[in-house]
Copies of this chain bind each other. A is one copy, B any other.
Amino acid sequence: MKNQQIKLIKRPFGKVTFDCWNLENSLVPEPNSGEVLVRNAFISIDPAMRGWMNEGKSYIKPVALGDTMRALTVGKVMESKSEKFKTGEWVSLGGGVQNYVSLPESEITKIDTDFCEPEVYLGTLGMSGLTAYFGMLDTGQPKAGETVLISGAAGAVGAVAGQIAKLKGCKVVGIAGGSEKCKHVVENLGFDACVDYKEDKLRNQIKEVCPDGVDVFFDNVGGEILDTVLTLINKKARIIICGAISQYNEVRPTGPKNYLSLLVNRARMEGIVVFDNYKNYASAIDQMKVWIKDGYLSTPMHIMTGGVPAFPEALNQLFAGKNTGKMVLEC
């Protein structure tokens, strides 16, 4: 039994290149007293990973050079030196890009797999879903009848954000890349419409499906898309800055040159980080479980294969927008 690990050995400048990573084999760790040994089954692949690779102040410490890449995972307990966990139980954890990890019991959470596949706890019932939940409800404050626009609509966060806005009685429009994704967003996620940013005239496309303007914009993409939407917002609009996947690989990121639309429209642009809501995670997950059971919330997954060694390629595919739904790496 060997433990494959992906280590960060170089910080990227712009796009992430394969020489940032090293695949190493180590021994499977021995759990100490109070610890639990877990075999990761799925590794969450997240846009936020790009930020964790950079040096400098952020909302979380950078991954140190030489360390195993940080990742959220779900897995099975292999050996438990904690009274709280039994061998064979499914758990979620910050397990890293590796096969095995031993962590103190306080850093591990049991998950309920009778109810759904374990990997859903990396998507709708994990950080992606929680980000969407708190960002849309607390920061976006959508009111019934308002128009809610979501970029990265086919992605892990956008999909949940849009479905929640729909549950609140809003008109919900997505922005996604390519006709396949747009079809998925409307047919499987129940958005009222979805426009394809890879087609021409994004502004006209949005205007056509949002004739009353945009009241809430949940932005996962940034760049040109944010700038375009700024020209279409309504008075007192709320723009949720959840991410900017178009910018993370840019050496010289661009700012929204139309930001003065915030002034003209007395609008608000606010950044969110899911961790701030940790006290309310449990109640949010309970609510989302009800929505899933009642068929209001679908939980599309994009499962990559190839195990730990396939991580560098999976991350690049995420940034190339190849996923529909939450991307995870089976390992």
Contact = CB atoms under 8 A, between A and B. Distances in A.
A252 B257 contact: yes
B255 A262 contact: no
Interface stretch (A24-32, A112-120, A197-205, A237-245): A237-245
A275 to B, nearest CB: 9
A205 to B, nearest CB: 19
Contacts of A261: 271
Contacts of A268: 268-271
A263 B247 contact: no
Contacts of A247: 260
A264 B271 contact: yes
A59 interface: yes
Contacts of A33: none
Interface string A248-289: 000011111111111111111111110010000000000000
Nearest to A236: B276
Nearest to A230: B255
A interface bracket (residues with beta carbon within 8 Å of B)? 20 to 34
A253 B264 CA distance: 15
A325 interface: no
A222 interface: yes
Contacts of A254: 255, 257
Nearest to A263: B271
A269 to B, nearest CB: 5
Given A266-B276, A276-B266, A260 B256 contact: no
B259 A270 contact: no
A59 B266 CA distance: 9
Contacts of A258: 255
B58 A264 contact: yes
Contacts of A58: 264
A264 B59 contact: yes
Contacts of A227: 255
A59 B264 CA distance: 5
Nearest to A262: B271
Contacts of A241: 259-260, 262-263
A147 to B, nearest CB: 17
Given A262-B271, A263-B271, 4 more contacts: A57-B264, A242-B263, A253-B257, A260-B271
Report the 8 A-B pairs with minimum CB-CB distance, sorted nearest first: A255-B255, A263-B271, A262-B271, A255-B257, A255-B256, A268-B270, A269-B269, A241-B263
